Amino acid sequence: MTEASELIPPTFDLADFVQCVLAEDLGSGGDVTSRATIAADARFAAAMSCREPIVIAGLDIAIAFFRALDGEVRIEKLAADGDRVAAGTVLLRLDGNARAMLAAERSALNTLQHLSGIATLTRRYVDAIGGGGAILLDTRKTIPGLRLLEKYAARMGGAHNHRMRMDDGLLIKDNHVAVAGGVRNAVRLAKAADTGLAVQVEVDRIEQIEEALAAGADRLLLDNMSPEQLREAVALVAGRVPLEASGGVNLDTVGMIAATGVTYVSVGRITQSAAAVDIGLDYALS
């Protein structure tokens, strides 16, 4: 079983994330309700389970919230990130200090529900692509501050990550083209910059393809093209560079788009529009 800490990029500071999220939820006064109603030494056993079919992402991150407030909490992990599980599946069993568990509950669940929502929607897109052969990519359409986690969740759902930041991929989009004075000039300038990065350029018309390739583009993003246009582009490029289809992709169209022969299909919806899934924590006196 692979731990999330081995998969999330090392630039993500889990301890800092947990501290910031707990501070947001607990404020300066802490969980006043639990302090008022529960004895300091009371203990609870709990089961965390999903109430609908999901793909899991963020389970080890949820565990980190409980451990942050109770270093002695006993946790039995019964599933792993990337698992597709049925409704009613128990993900964790916990036994620890009741006040601490209740204080950590919402932060842990919010994170796990959100990330598992992304993973679950992503898997639906992967399934919809089916045998089309194209690879599903995420985008930079993420909640500010949560990109590393959301892209991690997309990987758990079966997608591949597109560029993580603006400095690890050179992507010339329509506004760059407009300012640079055309596709050819934009690509030539990017190649001349000698960044060491592959140059990808967005094209939205078939006639721009040869222009981009002649200037040295290493990869093309075919923006908002119909399946017929995508098939024409695939035939024209004939394997010279990888092709990525983007724009207007949804669950009804992704299979058709993937079947055109493009290398990649990028979908902003998997991080931008994924709904949180239903996961709960149910308590019983230990």
Q: Could you confirm whether 202 is annotated as catalytic?
A: yes
Q: Could you confirm whether 141 is annotated as catalytic?
A: yes
With b for 16 or more beta-carbon neighbours within 10 A and e for fewer, the 133-157 pattern comes to ebbbbbbbebeeebbbbbbbbbbbb
- Residue 55 CA to residue 157 CA, distance in Å, equals 7
Q: Which of 81, 138, 223, 244 is catalytic?
A: 223
The distance between the two most distant Cα atoms of the chain, rounded to a whole number of Å, is 73
Q: Which of 60, 70, 81, 202 is catalytic?
A: 202
Q: Could you confirm whether 188 is annotated as catalytic?
A: no
Q: Which of 67, 106, 140, 269 is catalytic?
A: 106
Q: Which of 173, 205, 240, 282 is catalytic?
A: 173
Q: Which of 93, 141, 163, 231 is catalytic?
A: 141
- Catalytic site residues? 106, 141, 173, 202, 223
